[in-house]
């Protein structure tokens, strides 16, 4: 075996045992004979945290010693998942901890299951932020993640008679061993009130008299880089009532009112909004956004002033702020407000600083996800910021837009940060583009569409501003930690530092035709499937065979992601089998994992339909077990880590032009699944890397979808002329899958016919079904399949999030790495 960087653990099993026991007794107040698995997990985490904290203090000292330029990654979501296994792997403590625990009669794998997921995100956008933090620390780049310390993360999903039920997530109910509260770094955040204009000096001064002040208390979560690298910080803000309250009111019987005020203040960080790609426009959401941006900007300014006082010249040299979508765009007018109102800076200088400091990532083109706030709400909650936005807009329209398109009022209206209409709106996307020096999309095709369709005039105005950074995933979590069998096999054939240099996986291409390697690779896949079979049984009671092909679609439930296209194809297969029990198909298990936004009724109906169809199919003895359908409840990061290593086929079937990138597609291919997918998002780049022969690409392209829309799409063309499509839609509409409840699944057919099928499900059905036949054909040829699976793993090096971060560094942030001194 080649072990270029197979580092030694920084501690012996015996010493680690001592630390675990010490924490079990000394901080958990229990002892070996009595401790619950939870207590063992906590004691182990606290023991490991000693190494984490040592790395954290060394790193922070290094950053302050060299006065480093840092990126501040502002995101409403960080979907971290579990931390113990990740920290053990990144610190090279995994094996020694397993050994230490074994000596204590404990099993590490069981203890890892005790940790609740840190589910402070909805899906792709939040998980991307988490992968980026892992890469930033690993690459020794100075970085701080800023977000919200939600008391309740994304809801827990249960099924009741096949329908989704939501329960609050309580990840911190029993404490969290990884976080440190820093009350000494708390900030005050103002809201509401009015703006006074004072005419004293040469220029009038605006003074914001806030109606309410809320305290923001930071919790720091250490982010451990891989292989002895730096430990950065994720700083999450919790809202509290300020403790300056009016003692007279309090003593005059205001005790109860004071409590109500506290409850209100604490509402801000109470719960993560569970929508994904739909903007609810709620006041509390705007307050959440401003709350964490104001606290973060204040913290960034405080850190800067600690070293530089009131000399602002170095600020843009030391500070980069990345906006993860438009959710933190309010940080732009907030930094303007701080510089102008609190530090008396001239407008021009403050604006110059902002434009150098900010950059913005766009994660979606869906119109319903593009954030807009009513001017009315802004006026009420953030009156001073509305003023500043008006000023930014005025300068932008009268200087930049008028210079480019003189006298063109229609263009001014079109590009304005303020949308005129019966209710005036603030367009957060426009604010983000105007206030940033770089704007990026998240996959090549998506960035092209940002330039041509979403912001074409901005692109004309500033041809250098719009750019691409294709997403990536951390191979530490998404291969090394989640798929130890495959990682071990890879270690036997290439340098063991592949988790840092994922391009080295290319070394496996030479093995793709080697029968022994193929056998070993597919043996790993089979063992992973056996593990998942047990998990499926534990979670659902459903029995499936590891000899079947495992077909996996895991992502948020949304019409554009087209889980219902997958479902229609399952119905077609079921029907073909009932028509002809000899129908030639590879036995297949269709696996789903998906949460629907609680108010998204059609998405919830699709979940219900999948569960009802599954119930019928799984219990139908006529089809001889050739077809199984399973929707696992409560899809989340820790469940993804179990499903991905066991997948044979990766479903990436969004309508072309709608999925900005996708990142599950990368995780599945890296773990040896073959993609069946449309030419959308990063699928295009995955197919380029793996080669068209090793994926199943089907369906309309972006241009074909546009052309179809232009000439007028009519889903009845397909319903009327394709007998199978008609049959499966009518079947769904009957009470076959919901006996005694006719019409229970009618909404799906309705949306696909009368609803106009906005996501072109029927138009792509036949191509999808044909591609699925090709999947079967390849799977029957075991050698061809193994070869393609290996090539998928071998060619996914590009999708290392370290490469994405390097692109951000080269094109946007211009940071330098600082390995820590110790």
Q: Is 663 a catalytic residue?
A: yes
Give every CB contact of residue 227 below 8 A, 6+ residues apart in sequence.
5, 7, 90, 92, 138, 497, 499, 500
Tokens of 105: 């009669």
Q: Is 317 a catalytic residue?
A: no
- The binder of ligand 26V chosen from 117, 134, 156, 279 (CB under 6 A): 279
660 binding ligand 26V? (CB under 6 A): yes
Over the window 63 to 102, marking each residue x when it contacts ligand 26V by CB under 6 A and - when it does not, the resulting string is: ----------------------------------------
661 binding ligand 26V? (CB under 6 A): yes
Query: What is the secondary structure of 587-640 as a DSSP string?
Result: -EEEEEE----TT-HHHHHHHHHHHHHHHHHHT-GGGTTSEEEEE-SS--HHHH
147 binding ligand 26V? (CB under 6 A): no
- Give first-to-last CA distance, the chain, whole Å: 31
Q: Least distance to ligand 26V from the beta carbon of 686, Å?
A: 12
Candidates 64-72, 184-192, 270-278, 394-402: pick the segment binding ligand 26V (CB under 6 A): 270-278
Which entry of 63, 235, 363, 778 is annotated as an active-site residue? Answer: 363
Q: Least distance to ligand 26V from the beta carbon of 282, Å?
A: 8
- The binder of ligand 26V chosen from 369, 539, 586, 727 (CB under 6 A): 369
Q: Least distance to ligand 26V from the beta carbon of 581, Å?
A: 40
On whether the CB atoms of residues 524 and 503 are closer than 8 A, the answer is: no
Identity of the residue, 108 or 442, whose beta carbon is nearer to ligand 26V in the bound complex: 442
284 binding ligand 26V? (CB under 6 A): no
What whole-number distance in Å separates Cα of residue 452 and Cα of residue 527? 47
CA-wise closest residue to 480 among 495, 461, 454, 499: 499
Identity of the residue, 280 or 578, whose beta carbon is nearer to ligand 26V in the bound complex: 280
- Cα–Cα distances (Å) from 786 to 257, 478, 518, 588, 789, in that order, read 67, 20, 6, 17, 5
Residue identified by tokens 């050994």 is 99
Q: Least distance to ligand 26V from the beta carbon of 343, Å?
A: 32
Candidates 119-127, 377-385, 705-713, 742-750: pick the segment binding ligand 26V (CB under 6 A): 119-127
49 binding ligand 26V? (CB under 6 A): no
DSSP state of 482: T
On whether the CB atoms of residues 269 and 237 are closer than 8 A, the answer is: yes
Which H or E element spans position 237? strand 231-241
| Residue at shortest CB range from ligand 26V | 124
Give every CB contact of residue 621 below 8 A, 6+ residues apart in sequence.
none
Q: Residue 818 half-sphere exposure, CB side, CA atoms within 13 Å?
A: 21
Which entry of 529, 667, 694, 778 is annotated as an active-site residue? Answer: 667
Identity of the residue, 86 or 652, whose beta carbon is nearer to ligand 26V in the bound complex: 652
Over the window 612 to 651, marking each residue x when it contacts ligand 26V by CB under 6 A and - when it does not, the resulting string is: ----------------------------------------
134 binding ligand 26V? (CB under 6 A): no
What whole-number distance in Å separates Cα of residue 145 and Cα of residue 470? 20
Over the window 419 to 448, marking each residue x when it contacts ligand 26V by CB under 6 A and - when it does not, the resulting string is: -----------------------x------
On whether the CB atoms of residues 592 and 606 are closer than 8 A, the answer is: no
Query: What is the secondary structure of 101-115 as a DSSP string?
Result: HHHTT--HHHHHTTS
Q: Is 555 a catalytic residue?
A: yes
Candidates 379-387, 473-481, 654-662, 786-794: pick the segment binding ligand 26V (CB under 6 A): 654-662
Tokens of 229: 């690298």
On whether the CB atoms of residues 288 and 281 are closer than 8 A, the answer is: no
Q: Least distance to ligand 26V from the beta carbon of 523, Å?
A: 32
- The binder of ligand 26V chosen from 85, 275, 288, 795 (CB under 6 A): 275
Over the window 455 to 494, marking each residue x when it contacts ligand 26V by CB under 6 A and - when it does not, the resulting string is: ----------------x-----------------------
Q: Segment 348-367, which members bind ligand 26V (CB under 6 A)? A: 363-364
Q: Is 667 a catalytic residue?
A: yes
Tokens of 250: 């309090």
Which entry of 446, 504, 556, 562 is annotated as an active-site residue? Answer: 556
Residue identified by tokens 């002040």 is 213
Identity of the residue, 271 or 418, whose beta carbon is nearer to ligand 26V in the bound complex: 271
377 binding ligand 26V? (CB under 6 A): no
Candidates 205-213, 658-666, 767-775, 803-811: pick the segment binding ligand 26V (CB under 6 A): 658-666
SS3 content of the chain, % helix, strand, coil (to 5): 50, 15, 35
Q: Is 816 a catalytic residue?
A: no
Residue identified by tokens 């404990």 is 106
Identity of the residue, 169 or 325, whose beta carbon is nearer to ligand 26V in the bound complex: 325
Task: Specify the 3-state DSSP secondary structure of 800.
Answer: strand
Which H or E element spans position 352? helix 347-357
Q: Segment 291-350, which members bind ligand 26V (CB under 6 A)? A: 325
Which H or E element spans position 780? helix 761-780
CA torsion 359→362→367→370, rounded to 10°?
Answer: -40
DSSP state of 473: B
Candidates 171-179, 376-384, 644-652, 657-665: pick the segment binding ligand 26V (CB under 6 A): 657-665
CA-wise closest residue to 630 among 604, 593, 597, 587: 593
Q: Least distance to ligand 26V from the beta carbon of 559, Å?
A: 13
Q: Is 749 a catalytic residue?
A: no
Q: Least distance to ligand 26V from the beta carbon of 327, Å?
A: 7
List, in sequence order, every residue forming a beta bridge with 800; answer none if it has no partner.
473
On whether the CB atoms of residues 719 and 748 are closer than 8 A, the answer is: no
- For β-strands 649-652 and 118-120, DSSP reports them as unpaired
Candidates 52-60, 203-211, 655-663, 769-777: pick the segment binding ligand 26V (CB under 6 A): 655-663
599 binding ligand 26V? (CB under 6 A): no
678 binding ligand 26V? (CB under 6 A): no
Binding site for ligand 26V (CB under 6 A): 122-125, 128, 273, 275-280, 325, 363-364, 369, 442, 471, 659-663, 681
* Active site members: 363, 555-556, 561, 663, 667
């Amino acid at each position: 075996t080649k072990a270029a960087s197979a580092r030694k653990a920084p501690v012996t099993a015996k010493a680690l045992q001592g630390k675990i026991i010490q924490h079990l007794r000394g901080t958990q107040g229990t002892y070996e004979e009595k401790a619950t698995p939870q207590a063992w997990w906590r004691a182990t985490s606290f023991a490991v945290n000693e190494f984490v904290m040592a790395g954290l203090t060394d790193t922070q000292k290094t950053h302050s010693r060299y006065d480093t330029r840092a990126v501040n990654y502002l995101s409403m979501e960080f979907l971290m998942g579990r931390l113990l296994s990740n920290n053990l792997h990144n610190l090279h403590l995994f094996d020694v901890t397993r050994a230490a625990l074994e000596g204590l009669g404990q099993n590490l794998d069981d203890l890892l299951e005790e940790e609740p997921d840190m589910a402070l995100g909805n899906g792709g956008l939040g998980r991307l932020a988490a992968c980026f933090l892992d890469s930033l620390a690993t690459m020794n780049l100075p970085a701080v993640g800023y977000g919200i310390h939600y008391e309740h993360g994304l809801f827990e999903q249960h099924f009741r008679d096949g329908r989704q039920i939501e329960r609050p997530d309580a990840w911190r109910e029993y404490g969290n061993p990884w976080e440190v509260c820093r009350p000494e770094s708390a900030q005050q955040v103002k809201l509401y009130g009015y703006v006074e204009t004072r005419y004293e000096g040469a220029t009038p001064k605006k003074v914001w008299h806030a109606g309410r002040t809320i305290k923001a208390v930071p919790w720091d979560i250490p982010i451990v880089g891989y292989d002895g690298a730096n430990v950065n910080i994720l700083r999450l803000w919790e809202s509290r009532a300020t403790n300056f309250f009016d003692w007279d009111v309090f003593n005059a019987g205001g005790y109860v009112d004071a409590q109500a005020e506290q409850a209100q203040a604490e509402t801000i960080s109470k719960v993560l909004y569970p929508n994904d790609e739909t903007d609810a426009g709620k006041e509390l959401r705007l307050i959440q956004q401003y709350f964490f941006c104001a606290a973060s900007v204040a913290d960034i300014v405080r850190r800067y002033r600690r070293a530089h006082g009131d000399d602002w010249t170095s600020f843009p040299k030391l500070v980069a702020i990345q906006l993860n979508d438009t959710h933190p765009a309010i940080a732009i007018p907030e930094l303007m407000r701080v510089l102008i109102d609190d530090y008396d800076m001239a407008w021009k200088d403050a604006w110059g600083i902002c434009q150098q400091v900010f950059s913005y990532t766009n994660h979606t083109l869906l119109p319903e996800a593009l954030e807009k706030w009513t001017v009315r709400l802004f006026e009420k909650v953030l009156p001073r910021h509305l003023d500043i936005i008006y000023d930014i807009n005025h300068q932008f329209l009268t200087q930049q837009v008028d210079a480019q398109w003189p006298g063109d009022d229609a263009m001014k209206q079109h590009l304005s940060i303020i949308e005129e209409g019966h209710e005036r709106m603030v367009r957060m996307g426009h604010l983000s583009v105007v206030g940033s020096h770089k704007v990026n999309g998240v996959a090549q095709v998506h960035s092209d569409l940002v330039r041509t369709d979403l912001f074409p005039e901005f692109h004309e105005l500033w041809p250098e501003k719009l750019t691409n950074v294709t997403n990536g995933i951390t191979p530490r979590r998404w291969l090394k930690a989640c798929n130890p069998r495959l990682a071990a096999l890879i270690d036997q054939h290439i340098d063991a530092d592949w988790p840092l240099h994922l391009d080295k996986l290319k070394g496996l291409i030479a093995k793709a035709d080697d029968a022994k390697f193929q056998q070993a690779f597919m043996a790993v896949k089979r063992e992973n499937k056996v593990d998942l079979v047990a998990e499926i049984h534990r979670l659902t009671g459903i029995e499936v065979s590891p000899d079947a092909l495992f077909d996996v679609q895991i992502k948020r439930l949304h019409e554009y992601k087209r889980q219902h296209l997958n479902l229609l194809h399952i119905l077609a297969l079921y029907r073909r089998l009932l028509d002809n029990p000899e129908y030639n198909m590879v036995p297949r298990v269709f696996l789903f994992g998906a949460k629907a936004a609680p108010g998204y009724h059609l998405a919830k109906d699709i979940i219900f339909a999948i569960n009802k169809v599954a119930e019928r199919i799984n219990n139908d003895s006529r089809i001889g077990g050739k077809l199984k359908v399973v929707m696992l409840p409560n899809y989340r990061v820790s469940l993804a880590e179990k499903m991905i290593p066991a997948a044979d086929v990766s479903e990436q079937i969004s309508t072309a032009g709608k999925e900005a990138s996708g990142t599950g597609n990368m995780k599945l291919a890296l773990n040896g699944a073959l993609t069946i997918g449309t030419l959308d998002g990063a699928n295009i780049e995955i197919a380029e890397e793996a080669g068209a022969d090793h994926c199943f690409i089907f369906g309309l392209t972006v241009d074909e979808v546009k052309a179809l829309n232009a000439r007028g799409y009519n889903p009845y063309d397909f319903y009327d002329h394709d007998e199978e499509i008609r049959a499966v839609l009518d079947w769904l509409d009957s009470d076959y899958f919901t006996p005694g409840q006719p019409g229970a699944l009618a909404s799906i057919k309705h949306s696909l016919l009368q609803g106009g099928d906005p996501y072109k499900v029927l138009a792509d059905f036949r191509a999808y079904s044909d591609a699925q036949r090709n999947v079967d054909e390849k799977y029957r040829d075991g050698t061809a399949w193994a070869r393609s699976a290996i090539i998928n793993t071998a060619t996914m090096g590009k999708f290392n999030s370290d490469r994405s971060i390097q692109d951000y560094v080269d094109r946007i942030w211009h940071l330098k790495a600082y390995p820590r001194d110790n």
